Structure 1
Amino acid sequence: MLRLSSVLLVLSLVLGSPAMAQEGPPSEVDPAVQQMVHDVQADRLEADVRTLVNFHTRHTLSDTTSDERGVGAARRWLKAEFERISADCGGCLEVHYQKTVVEASETERIPSDTPVYNVMAIQRGTEHPERYVLMGGHLDSRVSSVMDSTSRAPGANDDASGVAGAVEAARVLSQHEFESSIVYVGYTGEEQGLFGSTHAAEVAQEEGWHLAGVLNNDMIGNVEGIDGVVENNTFRVFSQPRPEDLSENWSARFFGGENDGPSRQLARYVAGMAETYVRNLEPMLIYRLDRFGRGGDQMPFADRGFPAVRVMETHENYNRQHQDLRTEDGTEYGDVVEGVNFQYAKKLTGVNVASLASLAAGPPVPDSVRIGGAVSPNTTLDWEAVDHGDLAGYKVYWRRTAAPRWQHSTFVSAGTTEHTLENVVIDNYLFGVAAVDEEGHESPVAFPSALIR
C-alpha cells in the first residue's frame, strides 16, 4: 500500500496567503508522489502518439476490421497496451471494452446504428475499491467534415495526446498500490457527440460508482497558439456546476454553490498538485464548463453530478484542429505529430499523476457537512465521521466569497466532527471541510449542504 512519508502540500493546495492559519504538522512535498511525477517519460508519450497517428484515421465511423488503420485497430492496440501494463504489475488492471450502440435516430452525425467502444482499465483500491478516480482522453479523430471517415485524420494532439497521457499514467501508477481505485479510459464517439463518455457516465450512475474525480485530458500537447503566443508554462482547468443542477437547489445557492461545487473543488485540487509537484507550470482555473460553443468528455459526468474537470493546454491552434491536411497561402493545416510538444505533454501528464495518486491514496470527502452561525460572531461546522483506516483528522477551510482559492484553514484531530471558528462571521466567507490521513493525503473540500438546527 502506498504510504507517503510526510504531509502533502495538498494541505495547502488552496493557499491564498502566506499567513494562512494552520494547526497541526507542517506541509511539504511528498517524495513518493514526486518520484511518480518524475517517472513520467516524454519519449513514451511520443511513441504512443505516433502509434495512434499511424492508424491513418480513428474516426468513429472508420474501418473496424483492419489491423492497420481505423478506429477498430486503434482500440485493439489500446486494450493490448493496457493488458501489457497489467502483466507488468502482476495483473493489477482489469481491462475491458465498454460497449454501447448509438442509434442513427439519436444524431445526424451517426448515419446508421454504430457500436461505440470505450477501452477501460481499472486498478482496484485496497481499502475503498468502490471509490474511483478516473483519467481519460478520446481515441477518435476527425478532419474538416465531421462525417469524413476515410481521409487521413492523425489526431495527434486532439486527442492522441490525452490518450497517451492516460496510458503513461497507468504505466507509472500501476507500480504502486492505493486505497481507492483508479480508472484509465480511452473514449470513442467524442467527435460525433460525446457518446463514449456519456455511456461511461451512465454506467457509473447506474452502478452507483462513488466517483471522487474525473480528469478529462483533451489536447495536452500544443504550446503554439493561433494568436502567435508560444508558452509552455501554463495550462487550463475548466470546471463549472451545471446551472440546471442548481436552479431549484436553494441550499446550493445559499452556501455559494452557484459559484462552486464539487467540480470546482476538484479543479482547485488539480491546481494545487501542479503547483506542488510540477516545476514552472502555472494552473489557470477557468470557471466555465468548457470553451465557448464547444465541449468535452467531462460534460456527461458533470451533467450527472460527478466532480469532473477538463485539463488542457492554454493556447489552442485552430489550424491544427478538425482540419484536412493541406497547405494554403503558406499556412499548414492538420493535427500532425509535429504540432505536439512532448515535454509539455509530460508536464500535464505529471499533473494528472500527482492528482490521481493523491486522491486515490487519501480519504473520502466528508459527508453531510452542515453549518451554523447566523446573527453570531462565530461559525460552526459539523460533519459525519469519515471511515478511513489511518485518518488523522480534518481541515476546516474558509475564504472570502470573492476569492477563487481557499485562504485559511485549521486542523482538527480524528474523533472530532464539529468545530467552531471564533470571530469568523458566517456572512463574510465560504466554508468547507476536507479529511486528512496520517501521511498527509487530503480529500477535496466538501461544501456545507444543510444548516445546523
Structure 2
Amino acid sequence: MGLNDSAPTRRTFLSVSAAATAAAAVLPAAAASAGPAGIELAGEPADLGGPGRPITPQRPDAQLRSLLRDIDPARVEATVRRLAAFGTRHTLSTQDDPVRGIGAARDWIFAQLSAYAAESGGRMTVEVQSYLQPVASRIPVPTVISNIVATVHGQISPDRVYVITGHYDSRVTDVMNATGDAPGADDDASGVAVVLELARVMATRPSAATIVLAAVAGEEQGLYGSAYLAQQLKANGADVQGMVSNDIVGSPVGDDGVRHDRLVRMFAEGVPTAETAAEAATRRSIGGENDSVSRQLARYALATAQNEHTGMNIRLVYRRDRYLRGSDHISFLNLGYPGCRFSEPREDFAHQHQDVRVENGVQYGDLPEFCDFRYIARVAKVNAALFWSLAQAPGTPKAVKIDTSALTNKSTLRWTRGSEPDLAGYEIVWRESSAPDWTHVVEVGDVTTATIDLSKDNVQFGVRAVDQAGHRSPAAAPTPG
C-alpha cells in the first residue's frame, strides 16, 4: 500500500483499397458464431451473430509450465521472514547499519538478485539504482532512495520491456516514524518475495523481450522510487508495454475471516491518466472508456494467467486503485504506460501499518505470521504466466486505426507490421460494446489492412499479433483515422 492519499449468418471478408500499399488477405465465408450471452429485448435476441469464432484462452506452453512448477513457496517464505527481520525498512531509516533498516534490506536484496544473475549466463544483470530525493512531501531531509533492479535481457526484442515491482520499504501507523519496528510482511515483503522468486526462475531461461524485476523504495512516502524507475525507462527510450505492481499480496484471509485462496484482485484504470483532455474526449466519443492499454493488459492476464497451472482466478477491478491509496503502477500510468496492480482479495487493516504490539491478548502488526506463503507463491505464478506470455509473444500492434472516412456498415482496420522475425500474422478481435472482454476472433493473416463485414458503430474492435508458435499479444484498440 502506499501514498496517493487521496445473428444471422454473415459473410466475412477482407478487402484492401487499390491505393493502399499494405498487404491484404481475403477471408472465406464464415457462419455466425455464438455471441455473448444476453437477454431478449423487444423480441430481438441480444446475440445478433457475427464473423469469426469464439475466442479461447491462451494455454501455457511447455516452457511456461516448467517455469510455473519451479516457483517455490518455501523460498517465498524465507524472503518474507528475512525482510521482516530487518526491524524496519522505512525509507527514512538508517542506510548504513548492517542488520537493521532500509540499507541492510537493500544490500540483502541486491545480494540475492546478484546470486541469481550469476547463474544466468549473462541473461540477467542487477543494479542498485539510486538518486538523491530532495525535500518533498513526507521527505523532511534530502534522502537517498534506492531501487534494486534485475533485468532479464530480451534476446529478440530487447527494446520491448515489461516491468514487475514490489516495494521493500515499510511503515507503521505514523508514516514519519523511521525508528519503530515496521516488519512490513504483507505490505510489502510479500510483493518483493514475488519479484525475487520470479527473478530466480526467469534468470536461467531465454526471453524474447526484456523483463525488468524491481524492488523499489519510497513507496510509502509518495511512490518516489517507482517514479524514478519509470522516468529512467522513459529517458532511455524503453518501449514499456506492460507493468504490474505487486502490493499487499500476502494473505487470502481478510478482516471478515473468510478465505479466498484462489483469488487475487487486479486493478486496471479506464481512460488513461496521461491522456490529454482532447484525447480523452475522443475516446469517450467512440465508447472507448473500457479500452485503455491497462484494461487490455488486464484482459490479457485473464487469457493467460487464470488457469489450472496458476491455480488462481483474477478479479478485475475497473478502477485505478483502492480509495484513499495507490501503488507504484501509478508512476507508470502517469507516463502513459500500461499499468495495473495486484492485491489480495480483502485486506485486514488490523495488520497493516499497525505498531507491533499485543493488546488484550491480540497481536497487532504486519508480521509474517499473518501471511500465507503458498498463496503468495500462487500470486507469483499469476505474474509469471502473464509476463512470460507477454515477453515471448509478439509486441502489441502499433498505430492501429479504424477507417471513419465514409458511412458504411463494414469496418476497415489498419496497423503497422511488427518487426519480430517469427511473426506469423494478425487477428482481429471484437465484442459487443457492453461486453467486458473479447468474445470473437477473426484470423486475417500477415496483413496490415483488413475489412470486416461488421459495423464499427455496434461493436468494439481490437488487433493482436500472433507468432509461429501460436503466442498472441494483447489486443490494441483502434483510434479513428
**TM-score, normalising length: structure 2:** 0.86
Match of 2:378 in 1: 347
Distance 1:393 1:244 in 2: 30
The structure where helix makes up a greater share of residues is 1
* Aligned equivalents of 2:61, 2:352: Cα separation in 1: 38
Q: CA deviation at 1:420?
A: 1.6
Mapping of 1:164-313 within 5 angstroms?
164-240=193-269, 241-243=271-273, 245-249=275-279, 250-276=281-307, 278-313=309-344
Partner SS, residue 466 of structure 2: strand
For residues 172 and 189 of structure 2, what CA distance do their matches in structure 1 show?
A: 14
Residue 228 to residue 25, structure 1, CA distance change in 2 (3 Å): closer
Q: Select which of 437, 440, 446 maps to 2:467.
A: 437
Change (3 A) 1:138 1:16: farther
* Cα deviation, residue 418, structure 1: 1.4
Letter matched to residue 117 of structure 1: S
Structure 2 counterpart of 1:409, from 441, 460, 465:
441
SS in 2 for 1:427: coil
Please state how far the C-alpha of 1:174 moved relative to its aligned partner: 1.2
Is 1:447 the equivalent of 2:477? yes
1:22-73 deviation line (CA, Å, top 9, x unaligned): 3999964422211211111100000111111111110001111111110001
Q: 1:59 aligns with which of 83, 90, 94?
A: 90
Instruction: Return the alpha-carbon distance in structure 2 between the equivalents of residues 214 and 35 of structure 1.
Output: 23
| Percent identical | 39
Q: Secondary structure at the match of 1:319?
A: coil
AA aligned opposite 1:407 = T
Greater mean alpha carbon deviation, residues 395-404 or residues 324-333: 324-333
Task: Tell which structure's C-alpha radius of gyration is larger.
Answer: 2
Match of 1:122 in 2: 151
Contact 1:29 1:277 in 2 (8 A): no
Letter paired with 1:97: V
Letter in 2 for 1:321: Q
Structure 1 CA distance for aligned equivalents of residues 123 and 411 of structure 2: 46
Residue identity opposite 2:441 in structure 1: S
Would you say 1:388 and 2:420 are equivalent positions? yes
SS in 1 for 2:326: coil
Q: Which residue of 2 aligns with 1:30?
A: 61
Amino acid at match of 1:165: V
The total of aligned residue pairs comes to: 433
Q: Which residue of 2 aligns with 1:141?
A: 170
Contact 1:16-1:406 within 8 A present in 2 as well: no
Query: Match for 2:183 among 147, 154, 158?
Result: 154
In 1, Cα distance between equivalents of 2:99 and 2:329: 30
Give unmatched runs, 5+ long, in structure 1.
Answer: 1-14
Post-superposition offset of 1:372: 2.5
Which residue of structure 1 lines up, in the alignment, with residue 128 of structure 2? 97
C-alpha distance in structure 1 between counterparts of 2:124 and 2:218, whole Å: 24
Determine if the alignment matches structure 1 residue 425 to structure 2 residue 455.
yes
Give me the whole-angstrom Cα distance separating, in 2, the residues matched to 1:27 and 1:147. 46
Task: Name the counterpart of 1:69.
Answer: 100
> For residue 23 of structure 2, what is the aligned residue in structure 1?
none
Consecutive unaligned residues of structure 2, counting only runs of 5 or more, are 1-34, 38-48
RMSD after superposition = 2.1
SS at match of 2:436: coil
Deviation, structure 1 residue 449 = 2.3
Q: Which residue of 2 aligns with 1:7?
A: none
**Alignment pair present for 1:317 and 2:348:** yes
